[in-house]
A and B are shown apart, each in its own frame.
Chain A
Amino acid sequence: MAVLLDQNSRIIIQGMGAAGSREAEISIAYGTRIVAGVSPGKGGTEKSGIPLCNTVNEAVKKFEANVSLIFVPAPFCKDAIIEAINAKIPLIICITEGVPVIDMMVIKTVLENNKETILIGPNCPGILSPGEQARAGIMPIDVYMPGNIGVISRSGTLVYETVDQLTRLGIGQSTSIGVGGDPIIGTSQKKALELFEVDSETAGVVLIGEIGGSAEQEAAEFIKLMTKPVISFIAGTTAPPGRRMGHAGAIISGASGTAAAKQDALKNAGSHVVSSPSDIGKTVQEVLKNLGLL
């Protein structure tokens, strides 16, 4: 068992350009079922050994696709995501960076009327469940090992960093979810925590947040209700206010956006807050030991 992504996932790629097809090949070699790519006008042909379809609808009909992984350039993401929503794909993961905020606003209103659809991202590394050899995203595989820790992060590289620290200590992962670094994202950290809380194979969760917005404070409200331990880290303690730190969402523009405000909210909710980014793995180990889970 894992969260969102497992051996039953039948994944299609929207955007079979260089990055899309290369990452698809890596996932297939890992053991993930990438069943088709969508390239309008190239239906019936194949690329990198993956059959191509003209539309997402066609991919659902012919290949029983239930996950779409999106690599199309930012100006076309609104179109690609809503095409996947209309085709009733239950899980959509958008890797692309730089989707305009107003486009995301429109996508969210469409999602409001399609509650069975889960969108992860945009601007995210995707999802990986090591016990299921299921990878829908761009993360390096060899840092992962199967286990029972869930990882949630706004940042892609901090997913790798966290997973690596855990694996080096012999602590495996159930699933890692990169929720994305934009101000408006499909699935919040809070929603991701809810998924891990009810997953029988997840014993604890690492939550990697960053400055900007108030998503960590909303996550903290749910942490208060959780039975599983949550270890958290907030990136950007030293970031100056008013500057966008790479991610469109990572900008301190109000009191709730500072690292200190987020750390306080998480601490008050009972989360174990790590101050140094190199101590994430170590803290998970200590917490699990104290709870008799390791």
Chain B
Amino acid sequence: MDLLISSFFNLDILEQAWPFLLAGFWMTIKLTLVVVPLGVAGGLAVALLTTMRSRIVKWLVVIYVDFFRAFPPLVLLMFIAFGLPFLKIDLGAFGAVAVAFLLNTSSYYGEIFRAGIESIPRGQYEAARSTGLSAVQTMAYVVIPQATKNVIPDLISNTLEVVKLTSIASVVALPELLFAARQAQSVTYNATPIIAAGIIYLVCLWPLVRLLSRFEHRQIALH
């Protein structure tokens, strides 16, 4: 028990590591605030492209989505962070993470928005157009708001996954929460910083998990 406390919940170590963890935590928040809006915007764009009449566009979008859904995000990130600099494209750690996340998450968000848009009945388009709205206005004011509302649980679920995924940025040495914790661990030779990082993730994300499990039960119960 003492060993457990001194290795996992060591307050002296925690005090030393705290400034690092806090800096890492802010970086994780900053990263989230960049990658989530980028992913949502990218996903919406992907979904809107699938509503186009052109077959070629549709095919290209399907290939894009399947390609990036098949690619583990960490592989994509490493490719961008370590491979592209050989072509003199050096985005830096933050830039590489942002681009990798945009490519990966936009395909997931895209699939979700597509399902949402497909759930809107044809009549809604016809009614909107017949009141004199243009096609773009119909999408923006009638279809997308309803589509989004229909897929809110999936959007939250995916966003939770994206926030958790930001931890892979530690692999390309972006000083976010996990990276800070591992650094603190290697300096102090004690696992407390890693446990602390885990607790920080847990405290921040647990409310989302609770909310989601409510949604999920309701969704399947309606089935």
Q: Determine if chain A interacts with chain B.
A: no
A residues near B, CB below 8 A? none
